Amino acid sequence: MIKKTGYRMYEFGILVYITIFRFVALFHKKAGKMVKGHRNAWKILRKNIDHSKEWLWFHASSLGEFEQGRPIIEQIRTDHPEYKIIVTFYSPSGYEVKKNYSGADIICYLPFDTLLNSRRFLDLVKPKMAFFIKYEFWPNYLMQLKSRDIPTYLISGIFRPEQTFFKKWALPYRNLLGKFTHFFVQDQQSVNLLSSVGYSKNVSISGDTRFDRVFEIKDHAKVLDIAIAFSEKRSVPSEKILIAGSSWPKDEALFIPWFNEHPEVRLIIAPHEIHEDHLLSIEAQLTRPFTRYSKTSPEDVLKSDCLIIDCFGLLSSIYHYGDMAYIGGGFGSGIHNTLEAAVYGIPVFFGPNFEKFIEAKELIACGGGFSFDSKEELEKLLDYFTTNDVSRENVGKIAGEMVKKGTGGTKIILETIKL
């Protein structure tokens, strides 16, 4: 248990946070979506919960975490259709993209972690099991789940020494770990850290379930006529295609100038944000012919050297049409999904902020991926792999094999929870 003083401070802090958040929502579009979504969550739950069925609850902070839980959800759906599934999100970037996901019976925001909300939510849902993905540790929800003897699992968890759980002064917060029935973690370091604070018997290494997910996506990749036409238009056999996935402005300022000066390379950009201002900013930097995915056709795309993906849901299939991949986010809060590209057997490049991503470290260690700190370093990588076909193909093969070796986490998890 969190001691009463610590708990009261947490509850007070949450209430202050909610008050500030609702004020900010008056002026901030993303925050406004969350506030509206939280109100709608209760309506969605009251309308759709059927207590004649048993429910399994999955909670993901955002889209990336959801993709880690998705292989579990879909395998359960196949093996145990008798269960109903509810998926909750914290962030609009997860909910807005997946609110119509057909693999769950209910999808909504998770109401803020107050004592009242946690009791109300669990009273409505009455889940048979709860699954939190990667980093989600909400004290009120966890304590309420434990008090109701509801098995609670952490999926694709990853722990690092600097986390609060492992500080000497953080015993009250560390005790939240005791609310989990079992930890499914990504690496041995996480096992060691949990063991150092008394949790060794209920821990399994299952790896990152995104490996299973990206392999599934690869096997069922969307056939995109526009991308096919674009990739098949090669002015010379040696022409290469660079895919820039989940790019941010800082990324685009690095690879677009290089692309402008290299006519032997064509470019597909799938920016992380596709609002009009960002798309116009990208277009302003391009000096070669370009078009947007939503405004072209398989015939017209042949006139362009750069294809801008201005819609969601295509990136994981777009990588199939590339020879090399630039993964965005490395000059911001952290890189995006490298596995989506690596599974297709192509080299991946990303910026310096990758330390929290085990899969990126593994790609570097095996020689299937490369990090860079500057524009000059990126240009050297792009120059080399554009002109050295044998090296590019060998590195891509290594990347693809690394992803394949990482699969199997879904099976480990489902065999342990024993539905």
Kindly state whether residues 277 and 186 are assigned to the same domain. Answer: no
| CA–CA distance, 202 with 117 (Å, rounded to integer) | 28
Each residue of 232-276: pLDDT tens digit?
887 777 899 999 999 999 999 999 999 999 999 999 999 999 999
Task: Determine, yes or no, domain membership for 419.
Answer: no
Report how far apart, in Å, the C-alpha atoms of 330 and of each of 245, 262, 312, 356, 370 are: 12, 23, 20, 11, 12
Kindly state whether residues 276 and 249 are assigned to the same domain. Answer: yes
For 53, the domain range is 4-207
Inform me whether the pLDDT recorded for 288 exceeds 90: yes
Kindly state whether residues 230 and 373 are assigned to the same domain. Answer: yes
Could you tell me the pTM of the whole model?
0.81
Q: If you search the block for the tokens 């690879």, which residue do you land on?
A: 255
Kindly state whether residues 166 and 276 are assigned to the same domain. Answer: no
Burial class (CB in 10 A: 0-12, 13-18, 19+), 228: middle
Task: Determine, yes or no, domain membership for 79.
Answer: yes
Each residue of 303-362: pLDDT tens digit?
999 999 999 889 999 999 999 999 999 999 899 999 999 999 999 999 999 998 889 999
Looking up residue 91, the CATH number of its domain turns out to be: 3.40.50.11720
| CA–CA distance, 214 with 68 (Å, rounded to integer) | 10
Name the domain boundary from 207, 241, 268. Answer: 207
How big is the chain by its Cα radius of gyration, in Å? Answer: 23
Kindly state whether residues 64 and 193 are assigned to the same domain. Answer: yes
Please, where are the H alpha helices in 105-177? Answer: 115-125, 139-147, 171-174
Kindly state whether residues 99 and 146 are assigned to the same domain. Answer: yes
| CA–CA distance, 139 with 137 (Å, rounded to integer) | 6
For the record, the structure tokens of 34 come out as 């969350």
The number of folded domains in the chain is: 2
